[in-house]
Amino acid sequence: MTTAPTTSAAPAMTKARRSRWGVHTRTLVPCAIIALIAVGAIFVPVLYGYDPLRVDLADRLKPPGSVLPNGSIAVFGTDQIGSDLFAQMMAGARVSLIIGAATLAIAGVIGVLIGMLAGYYGGWLDTVLMRVADIQLAFPAILLAVLLAAVLGQGVLNVIIVLSISNWVVFARIARSQVLALKDREYVEAARTLGLGNFHIIFRTLLPGSLPPILVVGTVELGHVVLAEAALSFLGVGVPMGTASLGSTIANGVQYLSTAWWISTLPGVLLLLLVLATGVLGDAVRDRLDPRLRSL
Amino acid sequence: MNSIREKISLAVAATAVAMMALTGCGSGTASTGGGAMLPDEQQNLTFVPAFAVPGLDPTKAPLEMGSNQVLSNVLQALVKLDENSQPQPQLAESWEWTTPTTLTLKLREGVTFSDGQALSSADVKATLERYISQKQTLAAVLAVIESVSADDPTTVTITTTQPTGTLLGVLSMLFIGQAAHAQDDAWWAKPTGTGPFVINDFIANDKVSLTRNEGYWGEKAKLRSLTFKLITDVNAKVTALSNGQAQVLNDVPFDQVATVEAMSNVAFTQTEGLTYNFLWFNNAREPFTDVRVRTAMWEAVDLPTIVESLYGDTASVMDSFCPTSAFGCVAATDMPSYDPEHAKKLLAEAGYAEGFTADVIFSTANAGYDSLISALVSAWNEIGVTITPRALDGATWLSEFSALNWDMDVQPNQTATGDADYTLNRLYKCEAKRMGYCNPELDQLMAQAQESNDAQARLKLYQQVVDTMVKDAPAIPLFQTKPNVAASNTVQGLTIPPTEFIDWSTVYLTE
Domain architecture of chain B: domains with CATH: 39-54+201-271+487-511 (3.40.190.10), 75-188 (3.90.76.10), 275-481 (3.10.105.10)
Q: How far apart are CA B293 and CA A284, in angstroms?
A: 60
CB contact under 8 A, B367 and A240: no
**Given its phi and psi angles, is residue A61 left (phi above 0), alpha (psi -120 to 50 degrees) or beta?**
left
Residues of A in contact with B379 (CB under 8 A): 55
Q: Cα-flanking dihedrals φ and ψ of residue B339, to 5°?
A: -155, 75
Rounded to two decimals, the pTM is 0.78
Residue of A57, A259, A261 to mutate when probing chain B, most B C-beta within 10 A:
A57
CB contact under 8 A, A259 and B255: yes
Nearest CA in chain A to B302: A57
Q: How far apart are CA A202 and CA A119, in angstroms?
A: 10
Q: How far apart are CA B491 and CA B496, in angstroms?
A: 13
CB contact under 8 A, B259 and A259: yes
B297, amino acid identity: M
Residue A8's pLDDT band (cuts 50, 70, 90): low
Local structure of A148: helix, strand or coil = helix
Go through chain B and tell me how many residues it has: 511
- Min Cα distance B167 → chain A (Å) is 42
Residue A254's pLDDT band (cuts 50, 70, 90): confident
Give the pLDDT confidence score for residue B253 in this predicted structure.
87
Give pLDDT tens digits for B292-308. Answer: 999 999 999 999 999 99
Q: How far apart are CA B259 and CA B255, in angstroms?
A: 8
- Min Cα distance B377 → chain A (Å) is 7
Give the pLDDT confidence score for residue B234 in this predicted structure.
83
Chain B interface includes A259 (CB < 8 A): yes
Sign of CA dihedral A250, A255, A257, A261: negative
* Choice between A157 and B66, residue whose per-residue pLDDT is larger: A157
Give pLDDT tens digits for A94-124. Answer: 999 999 999 999 999 999 999 999 999 999 9
Give the pLDDT confidence score for residue B23 in this predicted structure.
39
Chain B interface includes A235 (CB < 8 A): no
Among A61, A154, A258, whose Cβ lies nearest the Cβ of B238?
A: A258
Give the pLDDT confidence score for residue B215 in this predicted structure.
92
CB contact under 8 A, A255 and B306: no
Q: Cα-flanking dihedrals φ and ψ of residue B242, to 5°?
A: -75, -30
Number of neighbours of residue B28 by Cβ within 10 angstroms:
6
- Min Cα distance A183 → chain B (Å) is 51
Stated as kind and residue range, the H or E segment containing A111 is helix A85-121
B455, amino acid identity: A
Residue A291's pLDDT band (cuts 50, 70, 90): low
pLDDT above 80 for A74: yes
Residue A1's pLDDT band (cuts 50, 70, 90): very low
Among B364, B375, B388, whose Cβ lies nearest the Cβ of A55?
A: B375
Give the pLDDT confidence score for residue A290 in this predicted structure.
67
CB contact under 8 A, B235 and A254: yes
* Choice between B210 and B451, residue whose per-residue pLDDT is larger: B210
Q: How far apart are CA B297 and CA B280, in angstroms?
A: 11
Contact B144, B430 (CB under 8 A): no
Nearest CA in chain B to A241: B389
Q: How far apart are CA B129 and CA B427, in angstroms?
A: 24
Contact A228, A290 (CB under 8 A): no
Give the list of residues 6+ apart from residue B366 with CB closer than 8 angstroms, or none. Answer: B411, B412
Average pLDDT along chain A:
88
Q: How far apart are CA B159 and CA B145, in angstroms?
A: 6
Residues of A in contact with B238 (CB under 8 A): 258
Give the pLDDT confidence score for residue B212 in this predicted structure.
95
Q: How many CB pairs under 8 A join A and B?
A: 64
| Burial environment of residue A106 by CB neighbours within 10 A (0 to 12, 13 to 18, 19 or more) | middle
Residues of A in contact with B377 (CB under 8 A): 53, 55, 242
Q: What is the mean pLDDT of residues B218-236?
A: 91
Stated as kind and residue range, the H or E segment containing A209 is helix A207-234
Calculate helix-pair angle for A246-253, A262-289, nearest 10 degrees.
Answer: 140
- Alpha-carbon distance values, A105 to A99, A221, A233, B5, B136 (Å): 10, 11, 21, 77, 52
Q: How far apart are CA B366 and CA B411, in angstroms?
A: 8
Q: How far apart are CA A258 and CA A226, in angstroms?
A: 27
* Choice between A1 and B89, residue whose per-residue pLDDT is larger: B89
Give the pLDDT confidence score for residue A19 in this predicted structure.
66
b/e burial code for range B111-127 (CB count within 10 A of at least 16 → b): bebbeeeebbbebbbbb
Residue B30's pLDDT band (cuts 50, 70, 90): very low
- Min Cα distance B176 → chain A (Å) is 40
Contact A213, A170 (CB under 8 A): no
Q: How far apart are CA B226 and CA B481, in angstroms?
A: 26
CB contact under 8 A, A57 and B370: no
Q: Cα-flanking dihedrals φ and ψ of residue B48, to 5°?
A: -100, 105
Chain B interface includes A55 (CB < 8 A): yes
Give pLDDT tens digits for B247-291. Answer: 999 988 888 888 899 898 999 998 888 889 999 999 999 999 999
Nearest CA in chain A to B365: A236
Number of neighbours of residue A21 by Cβ within 10 angstroms:
10
- Report which of B432, B430, B426, B472 is spatially closest to residue B449, judged by C-alpha positions: B426
Average pLDDT along chain B:
88
A101, amino acid identity: A
- Report which of B477, B319, B323 is spatially closest to residue B411, judged by C-alpha positions: B477
Q: What interface predicted TM-score (ipTM) does this complex get?
A: 0.75
- Alpha-carbon distance values, B46 to A184, B42, B207, B241, B493 (Å): 71, 12, 10, 10, 15
Give the list of residues 6+ apart from residue B174 with CB closer than 8 angstroms, or none. Answer: B58, B62, B77, B78, B127, B128, B131
Give pLDDT tens digits for B153-171. Answer: 999 999 999 888 889 988 9
Residues of A in contact with B253 (CB under 8 A): 255
pLDDT above 90 for A179: yes
Say which CATH architecture domain A24-48+81-294 belongs to. Answer: Orthogonal Bundle (1.10)
Give the pLDDT confidence score for residue A13 in this predicted structure.
72
Q: How far apart are CA B266 and CA B48, in angstroms?
A: 14
Residue A294's pLDDT band (cuts 50, 70, 90): low
Residue A228's pLDDT band (cuts 50, 70, 90): very high
Give the pLDDT confidence score for residue B21 in this predicted structure.
41
Q: How far apart are CA B335 and CA A186, in angstroms?
A: 86
**Given its phi and psi angles, is residue B448 left (phi above 0), alpha (psi -120 to 50 degrees) or beta?**
alpha
Give the pLDDT confidence score for residue B487 in this predicted structure.
95
Give the pLDDT confidence score for residue B25 in this predicted structure.
36
Give the strand order in the sheet containing B315-317: B315-317, B475-481, B275-281, B408-414, B357-363, B386-392
| Burial environment of residue B50 by CB neighbours within 10 A (0 to 12, 13 to 18, 19 or more) | buried
Strands B44-48 and B248-250: parallel
CB contact under 8 A, B305 and A55: no
DSSP state of B425: I
Residues of A in contact with B257 (CB under 8 A): none
Give pLDDT tens digits for A121-163. Answer: 999 999 999 999 999 989 888 888 888 888 888 889 999 999 9
Least confident of A6-15, A28-37, B422-431: A6-15
CB contact under 8 A, B255 and A257: no
Nearest CA in chain B to A51: B378
Q: How far apart are CA A62 and CA A66, in angstroms?
A: 6
Contact A222, A100 (CB under 8 A): yes
Residue of B306, B361, B371, B388 to mutate when probing chain A, most A C-beta within 10 A:
B371
Q: How far apart are CA A225 and CA A106, in angstroms?
A: 12
Residue B33's pLDDT band (cuts 50, 70, 90): low
CB contact under 8 A, A259 and B256: yes
CB contact under 8 A, B381 and A81: no
* Choice between A19 and B98, residue whose per-residue pLDDT is larger: B98
Chain B interface includes A265 (CB < 8 A): no
CA B259, B264, B266: angle at the middle one, nearest 5? Answer: 75
Stated as kind and residue range, the H or E segment containing B449 is helix B440-451
- Alpha-carbon distance values, B485 to A59, B247, B263, B289 (Å): 28, 10, 14, 41
